[in-house]
Amino acid sequence: MLLDGHSMAYRAFFALPVENFSTTTGQSTNAVYGFASMLANTVRDEQPTHLAVAFDISRQTFRAAEFPEYKANRAKTPDEFKSQIGLIHELLDAMSIPRLAVDGFEADDVIATLATAAAARGFEVQIVTGDRDSLQLVSEHVTVLYPTKGVSELTRYTPEKVAEKYGVRPDQYPDLAALRGDPSDNLPGIPGVGEKTAAKWVNQFGSFDELVSRADEVKGKIGEKLREHLDSVKRNRVLTELVRDVELPLGVDDLVRSGFDKPAVGQILEALEFRNPNFRERVFGMDPSGAAETEAAELAPGVEVEGELLTEPGALAAWLDTHGKGLVAVAAVYEWALGTGRVQEVALAAGDSAAWFDPAQLGEEDDRAFAAWLADPAAPKALHIAKQVMRAFAEQGWTIAGVTADTALAAYLEKPGRRTFTLDVLAEEYLARSLAPAAKAETGQLSFDTPDEDTGSAARALMNQARAVLDLAELFATRLGEVGAAELFHDMELPIAELLARMERYGIAADREWLTGLEAQFTAEIQRCVDEAHAAAGHPFNLGSPKQLQEILFGELALPKTKKIKTGYTTDADALTWLATQTDNELPVILLRHRDQAKLRTTVEGLLKTVSPQGRIHTTFNQMVAATGRLSSEGPNLQNIPVRTEEGRAIRRAFVVGEGYESLLTADYSQIELRIMAHLSEDEALIEAFESGEDLHTTVASQVFEVAPTAVDAEMRRKIKAMSYGLAYGLSAYGLSQQLGIKPAEAQGLMDTYFERFGGVRDYLHRVVEEARAIGYTETLLGRRRYLPDLTSDNRQRREMAERMALNAPIQGSAADIVKIAMLRVDRALTEAGLGSRMLLQVHDEIVLEVAPGEREQVEALVREQMAGAYPLRAPLDVSVGVGPDWEAAAH
């Protein structure tokens, strides 16, 4: 089997929407996914013994030298596609599939050479290509598999199929193509001559050469056109003939399929974030090296451990007495929702031993022994996603202390850019071990007798999980030191996990009645917008239908055209905002209002669904989503609640102080990212601007625009604020121009002037990228690394994205680290002071506390002191505090 790599990858690129396939770093992956999927399916169906993929090197081939216009009409190859060819090469190399490309020739010529040699030796040859010129190779021993729909449907071209489709023999196909011409290759045909006429001539005269020599015999106007275009069709005939004797570095015998480099394939799939189990199974199913049919089957099913079912009274206490002094891994099956939950099964692993028990069946002695062991800070424990386990165990009445390892957090600190931290994925990647579900657990892996086969199978699976946690914990103990993250792990991330677990369990009180009223308010406003939109258009229509919006805005109302997309012209929010400035028509404004109200209603509906029976909302904080270390939340996502509009702030009014507490207190840092940028850049002018105590953006604007601070107007301040924050996030001159609504040249001039005044900032931004390019990563003030291999990429798009990350990561990551330190300091100080107040939320750079009666002044002073002292910046940390009966009233 021989594949035209460029042809099939290009088809895959257009068959799968590029916007649906990309990594967290912005790397497009649709062509890689489609190509690998097509390859896997075809290899599975055809079972070739020999396999190779041919690629083009460039358009500068002997054909282009013969005819400079050859393929000259083809559109510029999209950057998103070009960046994926190298990834396909890497994947093929890891799969030990030969790939060939020869300078001056096309992939078709390479395929023609190999196909001819293989057929001569009696091989059955299959060619997978989207280039019809390969049909000339079809014979008794050569079949072309041609895609007819994307890359998922292939038509099998035999000699009979070629004759049926084109009316000529395969060896006559170049004659037909020469006469017909080929618009895709920019080869002109004869005006008025299509495939039927060309096929008729080829069959009538027997060959192209015979037709040319007897061209005078073709009568009428069509004959005149043939003779008029003889030179061009003779040139076509030379160009459409494939070369069958290209000098190649590999021969047919070198194409025997061989085994994958499985770890390398796994790493590539993980880097590309291809985690669909079915897709991965098909890819690994191509590996001819053994009996394994799937990736998982090639992994070790586990390790031999001595497993016990602790069903007898006193058995758990005895096991802990024997094994509980050293590191013990805990795995559990649990559930919780809206502040309630239960633990269903627990497995433990230590040394070469493992144990399983059902918490519901524990006697008093065992329950007391397990609870005491869990709460003992001197008993080291390893968990996977410790925060979740702590939440679940708390519902059982168990407190966990002494956690020295969290395998998910450790994997996050080693590779913060990855998307999944599930135990099965980590076990496969780091231990080459499969954690089979209970139903597929292999009997005999654990040495115990069980009266219940189903229970025994589930217990074996869970004990294997505990064993994997133990082994991963030991492995990461070394890995974290290698990437300089051990201190960050033990001093920050593990303690924050414990604090977040408590915060999640506390939740925050919610005013259900207020939320219900807001839902009704937004629903009524949405309907009002619908009525106004129908009136503006002159008839009813679906405001959520892009197609109908296009017809009304650009057809019926003839408004200015927006950005062209596949389905017409875009009607996204940016386009509607632009339209609102370009026309007096009220419809774009109404549509924007409708979308805004719909988002607000959706937010409120989501909040109402998460209010527990006790009247509190329990969000879940994510420690391992943002590569920079920032926390996020879900169920509900509290960062989604808008604060810049009056209606958005009305939603925050629903978060109220709970029963038994006096008020809510909010505290956050003022301009923390800019203070960090001043500290890192050591720019004296910027540091002085902070130390002056005046409004930062006004002070900086007065220097940039060379006017007195009192002469700085709102527009000047707006531009400088956008500039300052934009620089901290890697904003380009074009991006700044879009944000401010000015021309790119003006934005560049603004940046240049800014850098003249603040040269330290300019030098730092340049230096941080170059240093990261040299060592491969950036680092926060506290040593959190962000690895950026694309800084040295040959692909401009990937490289520039990595450069923006290199600018952003140290600043945003340092801010995230400082906020976490502040949270830990505040929590510790509250505990040491014996106060009843408690921390409930962390959103962006803000923390929210519930203040116990009579503690307000003490808590406010404590929070200010602990947050301000979180890190010694040269531009000192400034803390703003507010107090009130609800989240909005406590704003500052």
Per-residue pLDDT of 246-290, as tens digits, reads 999 999 999 999 999 888 898 898 888 887 777 888 899 899 875
Claim to verify: residue 502 and residue 516 sit in the same structural domain: no
For residue 461, which of 387, 354, 336, 319 has the smallest C-alpha distance? 354
Asked if residue 573 lies in contact with residue 592, where contact means CB atoms within 8 angstroms, the answer is: yes
pTM, 2 dp: 0.70
For residue 179, which of 227, 145, 217, 147 has the smallest C-alpha distance? 227
For residue 305, which of 474, 463, 469 has the smallest C-alpha distance? 463
Three-class secondary structure of residue 773 per DSSP: helix
The verdict on residue 470 lying in a domain is yes
Three-class secondary structure of residue 633 per DSSP: strand
Claim to verify: residue 438 and residue 536 sit in the same structural domain: no
The verdict on residue 552 lying in a domain is yes
The verdict on residue 543 lying in a domain is yes
The verdict on residue 840 lying in a domain is no
User: pLDDT-derived band of residue 312, with 50, 70 and 90 as boundaries?
Assistant: very high
Tokens 């990350």, located at residue: 805
For residue 81, which of 3, 20, 27 has the smallest C-alpha distance? 27
CATH number, domain of 586, equals 1.20.1060.10
Q: What is the pLDDT of residue 187?
A: 66
Claim to verify: residue 490 and residue 513 sit in the same structural domain: no
Claim to verify: residue 61 and residue 94 sit in the same structural domain: yes
pLDDT at 74 over 70: no
CATH number, domain of 333, equals 3.30.420.10
Which of 441-444's residues contact partners 24+ apart within 8 Å by CB, and which partners? 442/301, 442/302
The verdict on residue 624 lying in a domain is no
Selected residue with higher pLDDT from 495 and 482:
495
pLDDT at 337 over 90: no
Average pLDDT estimate for 91-110:
92
User: How is residue 501 written in tokens?
Assistant: 């677990």
Q: What is the pLDDT of residue 861?
A: 98
Q: What is the pLDDT of residue 291?
A: 37
User: How is residue 66 written in tokens?
Assistant: 């013969």
49 burial level (CB within 10 Å; 0-12, 13-18, 19+): exposed
Cis peptide before 170 (omega within 30 of 0): no
User: pLDDT-derived band of residue 888, with 50, 70 and 90 as boundaries?
Assistant: very high
CATH number, domain of 50, equals 3.40.50.1010
Asked if residue 357 lies in contact with residue 450, where contact means CB atoms within 8 angstroms, the answer is: no
| Digit-coded pLDDT (tens) for 341-356 | 689 999 999 998 999 9
pLDDT at 320 over 70: yes
Asked if residue 79 lies in contact with residue 288, where contact means CB atoms within 8 angstroms, the answer is: no
User: How is residue 714 written in tokens?
Assistant: 């709102």
The verdict on residue 149 lying in a domain is yes
**Helix or strand (DSSP H, E) at 884:** strand 879-884
Claim to verify: residue 496 and residue 542 sit in the same structural domain: no
Overall number of domains in the chain: 4
Claim to verify: residue 49 and residue 78 sit in the same structural domain: yes
Q: What is the pLDDT of residue 70?
A: 58
Q: What number of residues does the chain have?
A: 892
- Write down which residue in 789, 813, 837 finishes a domain: 813
Asked if residue 308 lies in contact with residue 356, where contact means CB atoms within 8 angstroms, the answer is: yes
| Digit-coded pLDDT (tens) for 290-299 | 533 334 334 4
DSSP state of 290: S
Asked if residue 866 lies in contact with residue 822, where contact means CB atoms within 8 angstroms, the answer is: yes
Q: What is the pLDDT of residue 816?
A: 96
Task: Average the pLDDT over each of 416-430, 539-553, 621-635 and give the range with the smallest value.
Answer: 416-430
Q: What angle do CA 179, 9, 791 make, to 5 degrees?
A: 130
pLDDT at 535 over 80: yes
- Write down which residue in 485, 506, 527 finishes a domain: 506
Q: Which residues contact 661 (CB under 8 A, 6 or more apart)?
A: 837, 850, 851, 852, 853
Claim to verify: residue 453 and residue 541 sit in the same structural domain: no
Asked if residue 877 lies in contact with residue 825, where contact means CB atoms within 8 angstroms, the answer is: no
| Digit-coded pLDDT (tens) for 602-649 | 999 999 999 999 999 999 999 998 888 999 999 899 988 888 889 889
How many of the other CB atoms lie within 10 Å of CB of 442?
14
The verdict on residue 209 lying in a domain is no
CATH number, domain of 688, equals 1.10.150.20
| Digit-coded pLDDT (tens) for 105-117 | 889 999 999 999 9
Claim to verify: residue 14 and residue 83 sit in the same structural domain: yes
Average pLDDT estimate for 669-696:
91
pLDDT at 72 over 50: no
Q: What range defines the domain where residue 553 resides?
A: 509-617
The verdict on residue 569 lying in a domain is yes
Three-class secondary structure of residue 569 per DSSP: strand
Asked if residue 632 lies in contact with residue 625, where contact means CB atoms within 8 angstroms, the answer is: yes
pLDDT at 80 over 90: no
Average pLDDT estimate for 460-486:
93
Q: What's the rounded Cα separation, in Å, for the pair 233 and 191?
A: 11
Mean pLDDT of the chain: 87
User: pLDDT-derived band of residue 759, with 50, 70 and 90 as boundaries?
Assistant: very high
Claim to verify: residue 483 and residue 434 sit in the same structural domain: yes
Claim to verify: residue 400 and residue 520 sit in the same structural domain: no
How many of the other CB atoms lie within 10 Å of CB of 854?
12
Beta bridge partners of 581: none
Asked if residue 647 lies in contact with residue 849, where contact means CB atoms within 8 angstroms, the answer is: no
% the chain with pLDDT above 70: 90
Claim to verify: residue 436 and residue 370 sit in the same structural domain: yes
End-to-end CA distance of the chain: 69
Q: What is the pLDDT of residue 274?
A: 86
Q: What is the pLDDT of residue 299?
A: 43
- Write down which residue in 474, 491, 506 finishes a domain: 506
Q: What is the pLDDT of residue 436?
A: 53
Average pLDDT estimate for 441-448:
30
Tokens 């506290």, located at residue: 782
Q: What is the pLDDT of residue 529?
A: 97
Q: Could you give the residue ranges of the DSSP H alpha helices within 610-692?
A: 646-652, 672-681, 684-691
Average pLDDT estimate for 155-181:
86
297 burial level (CB within 10 Å; 0-12, 13-18, 19+): middle
Q: What is the pLDDT of residue 264?
A: 86
Claim to verify: residue 378 and residue 477 sit in the same structural domain: yes
Q: What's the rounded Cα separation, in Å, for the pair 377 and 388?
A: 18
Q: Which residues contact 560 (CB under 8 A, 6 or more apart)?
A: 579, 582, 583
Asked if residue 464 lies in contact with residue 424, where contact means CB atoms within 8 angstroms, the answer is: no
| Digit-coded pLDDT (tens) for 768-811 | 999 999 888 899 999 999 888 888 877 777 788 888 889 889 99
**Helix or strand (DSSP H, E) at 881:** strand 879-884
User: How is residue 232 written in tokens?
Assistant: 């061009």
